[in-house]
């Protein structure tokens, strides 16, 4: 069975919902959105405090890394969204864009048109936050990010303690200055999670006959005619289907599944494809390479008094700073959680709080396939702590967390230091702790990196290099991870991708 559309968007996740919604604004364009998972109707998805409970369920791919030498040989669970909204339907709902320096660094790496001033209009277009600085914040977009409307008292304690320890207070991380400690925006509106599926897709899905959303539709292969991508093969309800794109295929399957689908389709490093038993269609060395994720190391304290239960996402405040003052932007983040959080090997009692420490890593890994079977798990190697500098920055960050925990606002709340524990003071013991305590921050990027060099997978318009009719639009195109949570930057990529597909040149005039 086959059908034809103008555009086929593969992946109804964070960016894919944005791309499909924006492309279908043109009523003469027929748009098909293919989502491997089901509808985002699971009750726990909408309930902000329930987000940890959806991991490992039917709305999670349940991926797992290969053993990581840098973390003592541990393999790490990698929850990835398997439902409309993708990982935006299962994440912790933190809405941070990234610092100006992150996007200016993309431009310095050759990605002209992706500097901060160029992408700011898209950040503004996707949100509605009246009352903020209109130079930086939007007023009529589909998303309504805002700080917690029902904050936990311990969150304010953290901000006050960080300021008492000498760090600046951040008034709006998504405004003029994204450094310091403060309240970050959350993807929560009217007390419920607001994913891109909820904000972009749900309001228009039934009103646009030119938009078709197919759930339970797992893409198996991209179709090519010489150097032209012509369509997609997928399975739905046990049956095979073929769909053709008269204009373009937009691959928005995410940092794991976008390269996985390219590799299964014969696009990628020729030697890897031949080893996996896949016929080479297009030798593109960068596919699956440049994988990186914020390594997250958690410092945990037992509380000296009962912590009230959370009403939002358990993580309402954070801090961003530079490990070296000479850097052009911050490379460190501390996410404060008023619950215990960390790897299974380092448990903590329920009445505990966590300083989650993350860095922009130097180490790079890869996503590969083991063979031609589309149902086989991909081989995910983020190479955690594979660079010495990554280890040293996290060791230094432990000291930053301890200084904040020791500040007077925490006096009434500070109990025993559980991890790493008071005996871990010398460099050797702290390095050993970082090795045991570090895992994923659930922010993988980079496997279809944008750029101009030999390792780039897509060009500056997100077109697959050497192939016509195919673009990639998701977190996989980031050449370098932003210094904070990646969700908002991924939405921006979806917004800009839709304009690139439609041939719209947008500068500072976005409204």
For residue 6, the tally of other CB atoms under 10 A from its CB is 18
Angle of helix 153-164 versus helix 388-406 axis, rounded to 10 = 100
| C-beta separation of 300 from 279 below 8 A | no
d(CA 490, CA 478): 9
| C-beta separation of 94 from 485 below 8 A | yes
The yes-or-no answer on residue 443 being catalytic is yes
- Residue 113 is encoded by which pair of tokens? 């048109």
* 391 is known to lie in a ligand binding site: no
User: Which residues, in sequence order, are bridge partners of residue 36?
Assistant: none
Q: How far apart are the first and last CA of the chain?
A: 42
Q: 231-238 — which CB contacts under 8 Å span 24+ positions?
A: 231/2, 231/8, 232/8, 232/10, 232/34, 234/34
* 93 is known to lie in a ligand binding site: yes
What's the CA angle centered on 22, arms 54 and 50, to 5 degrees?
Answer: 15
* 94 is known to lie in a ligand binding site: yes
* 92 is known to lie in a ligand binding site: yes
In three-state secondary structure terms, 480 is coil
Q: 424-432 — which CB contacts under 8 Å span 24+ positions?
A: 427/395, 430/395, 430/398, 431/391, 431/395
d(CA 48, CA 52): 9
Q: Which residues contact 264 (CB under 8 A, 6 or more apart)?
A: 220, 221, 278, 369, 372, 374
* 117 sits in which H/E element: helix 116-125
Phi, psi of 296 (to 5 degrees): -115, 125
Q: Radius of gyration over alpha carbons of the chain, in Å?
A: 22
* 21 is known to lie in a ligand binding site: no
Q: What residues are labeled active site?
A: 443
Write out the binding residues.
Answer: 91-94, 441
Write out the binding residues for FAD.
Answer: 91-94
Write out the binding residues for substrate.
Answer: 441
């Amino acid at each position: 069975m086959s059908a034809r559309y103008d555009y086929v968007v593969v992946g109804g996740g964070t960016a894919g919902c944005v791309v499909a919604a924006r492309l279908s604004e043109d009523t003469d364009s027929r748009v098909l959105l293919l989502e491997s998972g089901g509808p985002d109707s699971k009750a726990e998805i909408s309930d902000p405090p329930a987000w940890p409970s959806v991991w490992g369920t039917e709305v999670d791919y349940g991926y797992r890394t290969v053993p990581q030498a840098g973390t003592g040989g541990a393999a790490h669970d990698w929850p990835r969204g398997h439902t409309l909204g993708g990982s935006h339907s299962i994440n912790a709902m933190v809405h941070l864009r990234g610092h100006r320096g992150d996007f200016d660094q993309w431009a310095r790496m050759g990605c002209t048109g992706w500097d901060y001033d160029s992408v700011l209009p898209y950040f503004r277009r996707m949100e509605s936050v009246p009352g903020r600085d209109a130079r930086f914040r939007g007023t009529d977009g589909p998303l309504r990010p805002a700080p917690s409307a029902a904050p936990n008292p311990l969150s304010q304690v953290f901000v006050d303690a960080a300021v008492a320890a000498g760090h600046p207070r951040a008034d709006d991380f998504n405004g003029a200055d994204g450094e310091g400690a403060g309240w970050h925006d959350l993807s929560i509106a009217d007390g419920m999670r607001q994913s891109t599926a909820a904000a972009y897709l749900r309001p228009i899905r039934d009103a646009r006959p030119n938009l078709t959303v197919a759930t339970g539709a797992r893409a198996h292969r991209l179709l090519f005619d010489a150097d032209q991508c012509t369509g997609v093969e997928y399975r739905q309800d046990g049956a095979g289907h073929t769909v053709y794109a008269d204009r373009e295929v937009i691959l928005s399957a995410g940092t794991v599944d976008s390269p996985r689908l390219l590799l299964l389709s014969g696009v990628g490093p020729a030697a890897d494809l031949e080893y996996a038993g896949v016929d080479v269609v297009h030798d593109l060395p960068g596919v699956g390479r440049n994988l990186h994720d914020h390594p997250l190391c958690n410092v945990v304290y037992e509380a000296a008094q009962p912590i009230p239960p959370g009403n939002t996402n358990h993580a309402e405040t954070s801090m961003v700073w530079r490990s070296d003052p000479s850097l052009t932007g911050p490379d460190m983040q501390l996410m404060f959680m008023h619950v215990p959080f960390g790897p299974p090997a380092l448990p903590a009692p329920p009445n505990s709080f966590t300083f989650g420490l993350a860095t922009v890593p130097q180490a790079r890994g890869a996503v590969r396939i083991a063979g031609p079977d589309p149902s086989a798990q991909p081989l995910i190697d983020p190479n955690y702590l594979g660079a010495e500098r990554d280890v040293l920055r996290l060791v230094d960050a432990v000291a930053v967390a301890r200084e904040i925990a020791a500040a007077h606002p925490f006096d009434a709340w500070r109990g025993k230091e559980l991890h790493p524990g008071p005996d871990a003071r010398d460099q050797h013991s702290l390095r050993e702790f970082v090795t045991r305590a570090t895992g994923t921050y659930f922010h993988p990027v980079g496997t279809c990196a944008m750029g101009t060099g030999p390792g780039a997978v897509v060009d500056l318009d997100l077109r697959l290099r050497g192939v016509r009719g195919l673009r990639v639009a998701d977190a996989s195109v980031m050449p370098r991870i932003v210094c904070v949570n990646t969700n908002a930057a991924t939405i921006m990529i979806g917004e800009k991708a839709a304009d690139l597909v439609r041939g719209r040149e947008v500068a500072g005039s976005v409204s």
